[in-house]
Structure 1
Amino acid sequence: MNAPIPAHLLPQLDPRPVPAEMVEALKARFGERCSTALAVREQHGRDESPFDVPPPEVVVYCESTDDVAEVVKLADRHAVPVIPYGAGSSLEGHLLAVQGGVSIDLTRMNRILSVRPEDLTVTVQAGVTRMQLNTEVRHAGLFFPIDPGADATLGGMSATRASGTNAVRYGTMRDNVLALTVVTPQGEVIHTGTRARKSSAGYDLTRLMVGSEGTLGVMTEITLKLYPLPEAISAATCSFPGIDAAVRTTIQLIQMGVPIARCELLDANAVRAVNRHDKLTLPESPLLLMEFHGSEASVAEQAATVQEIASEFGGEGFQWATTPEERTKLWTARHRAYFAGLQMKPGSRTVTTDTCVPISRLAECINDSVAEVEASGLMYYIVGHVGDGNFHLAYLIDPDKPEERETAERLNLQLVQRALRLDGTCTGEHGIGLHKMGFLVSEAGAGAVDMMRSVKRALDPKNIMNPGKIFSL
């Protein structure tokens, strides 16, 4: 018989039952869009984190802000938790119903409400995905650059303050959300921000909501910045004798101010995995995957500079991908690296790290972390948005072997402690969720976390908005 997962690695469950009266009211209001079927609930109670938690008791498919407000008003009346649900691609347990309650599925709220090319802005419902948005605005010569690996919803991306491969040039969701429509814990609909590019009007409620992981309100509509499609785009790959050489090349590029749009690291394990998964033939050694945006002349100049710097650190095999088809093939493989990595160990799950450090300390952080995981014997791979100091070390574990989970969590703790010593963060883009609650206290300090709790209690006194996430009350 398999040994159980140790208690200290399990989330703390504190279920609050949904009263039959509330279930009846939801079914009367939403009909077939309200489900208590086990299969539907289980789908909404599972993400990509290593946690197994009982599913929510009820799932409601909302199609408008008014729908969300109706659900939240009922939840407020009965003090029942509500958990927003998008693509279900969270890595940190954000959508898990640790206190039971109702899952608010926003995927049917998938309309693009307005595109304003003259202002470079777009307003969307929260269930629109990043790929859907880019397909819609491409005809206007525009694009939205934030691209986490999954085809996540823009509501989920805003809730976790996501970023991705383009962050080194275009920033994160924090930098690209202009305004929001939010349903408060009392079911009131509020609007934060405007389409203006800046404002000094009162507290910045938009930034408060972006990154709040559904704990302060449900975002239903989002106004975003768009960018003109570059005149010229070129991607390149370059292989290195070791991870250290690839990282030091990246550091040199950033410190010299080369305006590279994307700079991704794949270690030899990750390259091997994407080769098998996507039938590529990349050299199976540490690899930088880069992209350059601008005019024809500026792209050529950037690429020449990068090639020169890379050669100083032993980089070789510089390969160009200038056609859209070639670039798409490379970046699709990069975005599938998570699932490609899982296939290295069939049946495995991952404990995935998400640290980000100042660029000057990146080599030290990665090298020491690699030495530790090599000594542990666990299978692993590394991918990273190293252009902004963010990398992911994924530990592959057998879910039936709790000792592997314990080893992975120990290594994760050591990595986070190292990142914090180097003035970094425990999470560059995935958020806190369940998995990093202890790390938040180490990073921000007890006083700062107490201030966050004060905000939570003031806005959500009944603790119904995605409770049990970010910090405990």
Structure 2
Amino acid sequence: MPFSMAFILNFTSVRGMSLNEVYADFVKILGYENVLRGDYVQPYSVDKYTRSVVKPTFILKPASVQQLLQILSLARKYGMSITPRGGGFDLAMGSMVSDGIIIDLTRLNEILEVNDENYTITVQCGVTFEDINEKLTLKRLSVDLEPITSPEATIGGFIASHGIGYGLLRHGCSVLNIIRDLEVVLSDGTIIHTGFKNLPFGKAGYNLTSLMIGSEGLFGIITEVTLSVFPAPETVASVALNFSSIEDGLNFLGDITKRLTTAHSAFMMNATFKDNIIRNALKYPFGEFSGLIRLEGSREEVEWEKDSVENLCGTSKNNIDEDLWNYRFLYHVIRELNYPVLIDDYIIPVKKSAEAYNVIREIAAREKLNFMTHFLYLGSNIVLNLMYVDDIRKAYSLEKEIDEAINLIGGRPLTIGLRRVEVMKKTSPCLFNLLSEIKRVLDGINLFCPNKLL
């Protein structure tokens, strides 16, 4: 059943206390303007994409870890569930809840330190990538990563939802390789650090960072992040490409990115994506599939490799390269559509990506459903973002069938959220049971996101 039609639990008291009394206790901690209820929770009842509607009881907006600890104490006292939320750019309703508390972490937005000696930046979880890049640019540094959704995404939400971004191609295709340390608050108020700020990942001792990446708030709330930073590139450039088929595009990107020393990102999109957005905006004759390779490095290397790719493909030299790069953020593209869009995201082996696309196309054609696709190349895998742009109700009804078809091919959904819990139980029962056991250890009272596991 689509979550826009989901049953919403309405209640007026918790553990013998009226909601007015509970509300008053939270106001004592945060102030009236940072405790929302009633009609004021509406902006948190939808996400940036699906427009599905649920209704949390309270929205709480702490400005410090100390306030967060006080909130958790009251939530334990009243038996109310907690769902953390960053910028709301997740793709699977991971930060939505039909009752209980949503904690908006965007006020935890301080950049705490830029360490020039260890090449790290330490920030609170509510800091956006836009904020990080602005700060580092002043020091000629870069985090060398951008989320595919929006630069307005918060770093805490990006990590908790196993965010995928431009630049990961240069870092082992995983955000894990640039995270030095996470500060995490557990449900009992314990604060842990998962790594070592001054050492790269995996260089010493036990490291729990990978457990928190993609955990979607199940095990704890990420409150602070330390990332590796890098010298800013001397120059950047983009090369736009046209392909007659998905097979040609994937094969070319896979081959060329292995040869290029300055390859930063590589992605493709299908004609429907361009028909809806980019062709109208850029007035450029695209092929059935179009791709883009982003290059970053020294001026000499970038210019030489850009010329090599253009000569190899017969690509004309024009401004379309940078224009196409400017349309890389999915949220900015969808915002221009100005009507409901449902997004599903999958990670699929490159060798199976064409098969996955064709399966999706057959199902969509059978149901007369339009869709757009965006493929982000990550070494041996492709992240496929599938966007339905007309009949959202029908798209919801096909989601389970497509999830199961992708699973048979060897792919899987990238995020679970509320929408895919039942599919995960069926397709990955061992993983589901393992995650449930880990949750019992780290969150034995099931305070965080209780509707996802157990």
Short-chain TM bin: 0.7 to 0.9
Aligned to 2:354: 363
Q: Aligned residue for 1:3?
A: none
C-alpha distance in 2, partners of 1:7/1:71? Answer: 31
CA RMSD of aligned residues (A): 2.8
Alignment CA distance shift 1:106-1:338 (3 Å): closer
CA distance in 1, matches of 2:403, 2:273: 21
1:423 and 2:422 matched: no
Which residue number in structure 2 is paired with residue 30 of structure 1?
30
Structure 2 partner of 1:184: 186
| Alignment match, 1:106 | 105
**Distance apart, 1:9 and its partner CA:** 8.6
- Residue 140 of structure 1: SS of its match in structure 2? coil
| Unaligned stretches of 5+ residues in structure 2 | none
Query: How do 1:298-309 residues align onto structure 2 when only pairs under 5 Å count?
Result: 298-307=301-310
Contact in 2 for aligned 1:162/1:172 (Cα 8 Å): no
Check whether the contact 1:274–1:334 (CA below 8 A) recurs between aligned residues: no
Distance in 2, matches of 1:306 and 1:422, equals 32
TM normalised by structure 2 equals 0.88
Q: Secondary structure at the match of 2:146?
A: coil
**For 1:341-356, what aligned pairs fall within 5 Å after superposition?**
341=334, 347=339, 349-356=340-347
* Cα separation, partners in 2 of 1:193 and 1:457, compared to 1, 3 Å: same
Equivalent residue in structure 1 for 2:327, among 324, 330, 333:
333
Distance 1:318 1:76 in 2: 62
1:466 aligns with: 449
Q: Are the structure 2 counterparts of residues 366 and 303 from structure 1 closer, same or farther at C-alpha, using a change threshold of 3 Å?
A: farther
In structure 1, how many angstroms separate the alpha carbons of the residues matched to 2:241 and 2:279? 19
| Deviation of the 1:273 alpha carbon | 2.7
- Corresponding residue for 1:146? 145
Q: Within 1, Cα distance between the matches of 2:444 and 2:274?
A: 48
Distance in 1, Cα, partners of 2:204 & 2:426: 33
Classify 1:248/1:228 alpha carbon distance in 2 versus 1 (closer, same or farther; 3 Å). same
Equivalent position of 1:396 in the other structure: 389
Separation (CA, whole Å) in 2 of partners of 1:416 and 1:236:
33
CA positional deviation for 1:90 = 2.0
Amino acid of the structure 1 residue aligned with 2:271: A
Secondary structure of 2:389's counterpart equals strand
Alignment of 1:281-320 (within 5 A): 281-285=283-287, 286-307=289-310, 311=313, 316-319=314-317
| TM-score when normalising by structure 1 | 0.85
SS at match of 1:440: helix
* Paired residue type of 2:412: T
User: Is the 8 Å Cα contact of residues 130 and 154 (structure 1) preserved in structure 2?
Assistant: yes
In 2, distance between residues paired with 1:8 and 1:191? Answer: 35
Answer with 69-78 or 457-466: which moved more.
457-466
Q: How far, CA to CA, are the matches of 1:221 and 1:342 in structure 2?
A: 30
The range that moved more, 356-365 or 220-229, is 356-365
Structure 1 pair 354–293 and aligned structure 2 pair: CA distance change class (3 A): same
The equivalent residue for 2:174 is 172
2: distance between equivalents of 1:189 and 1:69?
10
For 1:262, the equivalent position in structure 2 comes to 265
1:341-400: CA deviations, max 9, x gaps?
5755x63x223221122222222322332343234321211112034411112122335x
Describe the superposition over 1:183-237 as per-residue Cα deviations: whole angstroms up to 9, x where unpaired. 1101232222111114466653222122111111111111111121112211111
Check the 8 A contact 1:350/1:395 in 2, yes or no.
yes
User: Is the Cα–Cα contact under 8 Å of residues 120 and 225 in structure 1 kept in the other structure?
Assistant: yes
Identity %: 24
Tell me the residue number matched to 2:133.
134
Partner AA of 1:373 in structure 2: A
Q: Answer yes or no: is the 8 Å Cα contact 2:61–2:105 preserved in 1.
A: yes
Which residue of structure 2 lines up, in the alignment, with residue 379 of structure 1? 370
